[in-house]
Structure 1
Amino acid sequence: MTAFLATSFVLGAVGALGASAARASDKPLRVILPISAGSGVDTIMRAVAPSLTKALGGQPVVIENLPGAGGITGTSALVKAPADGLTVGVVSNNHAVNPSVFAKMPFDAITDITPISVVGATPLLLVVNPAKVPAKNAKELQAMLKAKPDTYNYASSGNGTIIHLAGAMFMDAAGVNVRHIPYKGTGPMVADIIGGQVEMGVVALPAAQGHLKSGALRAIGVMGKSRVPALPDLPTIAEQGFPEFDVAGWFAVIGPAKLPAAEVKRLHAAVVAAFAMPEAVEAMGKQGNIISPMTPEASAQFLRTEVERYARIVKKANITAE
């Protein structure tokens, strides 16, 4: 996106907010994150919250972490909230994975929400504890795990999450047996990888960057198809001998079902404007996120397609709720 177009987006979107933003500004916008503090999406939204407040004409933004059950706990609160434009949620791949992992869901991932925008994607990294794992790349890690089957553990942010799925897909591609240890959120998972209680895991780039710089974690590779500008020297898993490997984390802003069209328009305009503001663009660039907001209509179609895609992947990986 050129600077001119980005500026036009900001001016146009802020202008479109008009009186509706002023009307809502006396009450805060509650942003439910169905993930723990310190996760990739949490890092993203906290960085963008000041810009979102500006885009909403000064309306306060209150971020609320409600982790648990792979995102189901927080999203359950979102779908039960009044459809008045004062509560939104920010979900990721887990929202599309869960219907295939859990035998019973307390809500329908498609019909019980209103898509506002699939905002962008954040890279996922395979990381290890450098004191526990001498491997420097994917092939060395594969050889180490094959030499001692059933000896090592890999962590995830919860059973059936995209983090779990990405780890399981790598272990399957590498042909190795590694014990899965699920955690209740990214924060506890990363803490235990750093502490050496588990040897490795998959982490969203924003949640890993500080630990990579300090040396507390070592990145083995990018899980998606492309390298990330924030870590230009880190090859993808696909580059390292697993050419079909491709997993990335998207994130989307959603509202409760039957959110009025005017509120969808207002919130979508605010999201687009917020992520196009210079301070947000800078923060997203540093985190390595790719921002390309979709329209509500395109977002609805994307979510339906993702639910279908992950149904096939989950079946192949034989992942079920434990």
Structure 2
Amino acid sequence: MAAAVAAPLPISQALASQTYPPGPVRVVVPFPPGGPTDVVGRVIAQRLSEAFKRPFVVENKAGASGLIGADAVAKAAPDGLTLLANVSAQVINPYLYAKLPHDPMKDFLPVTSLASTPIQLVVSSSLPVKSVQDLVNHVKARPGQCSFASSSSGTPGHLAGELFRLASGIDALHAPYKGSAPALTDVMSGQVTFMFDSMPSSIGLVKGGKLRALGVTGTQRAASLPGVPTMVEAGYPDMTMTTWYGLWAPAKTPMEIAKQLQAEVSKALAYPDVKALLAEVSADGMGDTPEVFAAFCRSESERYARIIKTANIKLE
């Protein structure tokens, strides 16, 4: 009788073991711990660790509006062992900076989109304003005394703040931070008047009563904050935008590696616990293929270019 043999691995696992190089994978998040990019990145990294049976280690490499961490990935070996989990600022930066250490649109391989969430306008719960119009009135009564925070210059939250400033005619100075967590701390304390922030990092503070949400930038109200109007409902029809998160690899990374990663991310986003976690912060999983994600990046880049031109935003 012939000796028994082990059952063959499923085709997908066999291919993964043949084409993905051995070793731990570094997932660079170009912002500090605790912010929305970090939250989404860690959820996905944990699932990828389980899927590939190896550590996907999140490394927070903050600074220069996310450019330091992104540059480290752009210059890394294209072997699938270094990835970038970044916010949509990745495709905005080319229109904000005259000089960059890398080309955000050419020096990366778009792997997959991760999640998308509306941006919410928040103020300290101790600030005596209950609506968007209350905030406008409050700031206009204090010319030159108010400011708005962002997690970093050039982020969607920053652009939303600039658009709001222009549309409402208020005088408010932009105060960029190194991540959402320190920015929200200063909003809560009243050192900064308001902030447009991605929901993953601030919704817990809203539900906990430390911040008050006045509006959301989605096309419809957030399911987790049904009593908060959209900015369109508040009288600002052009303020519809989302923050989205994606996964990139260095350019020239083999496409088969990108496709393996995308397939596992797509599976992870379908898990009930991951969907529930994202739903808690009003985020929707995405998981597009590399080809679809690349086209999405180009489209979003062109859209943000128009916003930057309209708001006349320039950064050094």
| 1:165 aligned partner | 159
Candidates 218, 222, 244, aligned match of 2:212: 218
Letter of the 1:111 partner, please give it.
Answer: K
Report the equivalent of 2:168.
174
Aligned residue identity for 2:103: D
SS at 2:92's partner residue? helix
Aligned 8 A contact 1:25 1:59 in 2: no
| Percent of residue pairs identical | 37
Question: How far apart are the structure 2 equivalents of 1:89 and 1:26?
Answer: 18
Q: Equivalent residue for 1:276?
A: 270
2:191 aligns with 197
Correspondence 1:112 to 2:110: no
CA drift at 1:164: 1.2
Counterpart residue number, 1:267: 261
Shift of 1:147: 2.3
Q: Is the 8 A contact 1:21 1:266 kept in 2?
A: no
Worse-superposed segment, 213-222 or 20-29: 20-29
| Equivalent residues of 1:96, 1:307 under 8 A apart | yes
Higher helix proportion? 1
Give the superposition deviation at 1:21: 4.5
Whole-angstrom distance in 2 between the partners of 1:84 and 1:126: 40
Q: Which residue of 2 aligns with 1:9?
A: none
Q: Would you say the 8 A contact 1:70–1:159 is kept in 2?
A: yes
**Which residue identity is paired with 1:170?**
F
SS at match of 1:304: helix
**Once the two structures are superposed, what CA deviation does each residue of 1:13-34 show, in whole Å capped at 9, x if it has no partner?**
x963434248758522211111
Query: In 1, Cα distance between the equivalents of 2:169 and 2:296?
Result: 31
Partner of 1:235: 229
Give structure 1 stretches of 5+ with no counterpart. Answer: 1-13
The 3-state SS of whatever aligns with 1:209 is: helix
2:85 is equivalent to residue 85 of structure 1: no
Q: Given the alignment of the two structures, is residue 134 of structure 1 paired with residue 128 of structure 2, yes or no? A: yes
Q: How many residues of Structure 1 are paired with residues of Structure 2 in the alignment?
A: 307
Q: CA deviation at 1:158?
A: 2.0
What SS does the aligned partner of 1:124 have? strand
SS of the equivalent of 2:90 reads helix
**1:26 & 1:255 partners in 2: Cα distance?**
16
**Aligned pair in 2 of structure 1 residues 279, 52: CA closer, same or farther (>3 Å)?**
farther
Please name the residue that 2:298 is paired with: 304
Superposed, 1:15-164 pairs within 5 Å as: 16-21=12-17, 24=20, 27-56=23-52, 58-131=53-126, 133-164=127-158
Aligned counterparts of 2:46 and 2:176: Cα–Cα separation in 1: 33
Maintained 8 Å contact 2:87/2:243: yes
- TM-score computed with the length of structure 2 as normaliser: 0.92
SS of the residue corresponding to residue 125 of structure 2 reads coil
Quote the offset at 1:319 in angstroms.
Answer: 1.0
Q: Distance in 2 between matches of 1:139 and 1:17?
A: 56
Shift of 1:160: 2.3
CA RMSD, 1 decimal: 1.8
| Cα deviation, residue 243, structure 1 | 2.1
Pick one of 279, 282, 301 that aligns with 1:285.
279
- Deviations along 1:37-76, whole A, 9 cap, x unmatched? 11112112223333222222x2211001111121111110
| Distance across 2 between alignment mates of 1:241 and 1:17 | 52
Residues 57-115 of structure 1 show CA distances to partners (whole Å, capped at 9, x for unaligned) of x2211001111121111110111111111111112221111111111011111110001
Query: Contact 2:44 / 2:265 at 8 angstroms: preserved in 1?
Result: no
Q: Which has the larger radius of gyration?
A: 2
Partner Cα separation in structure 2 for residue 17 and residue 78 of structure 1 = 26
In the TM superposition, what is the alpha-carbon distance from 1:230 to its structure 2 partner?
1.6
Query: SS at 1:153's partner residue?
Result: strand
- The one-letter amino acid paired with 1:109 is P
CA distance in 2, matches of 1:17, 1:83: 21
In 2, the alpha carbon distance for the partners of 1:15 and 1:235 equals 49
Picking from 308, 314, 318, the partner of 2:312 is 318
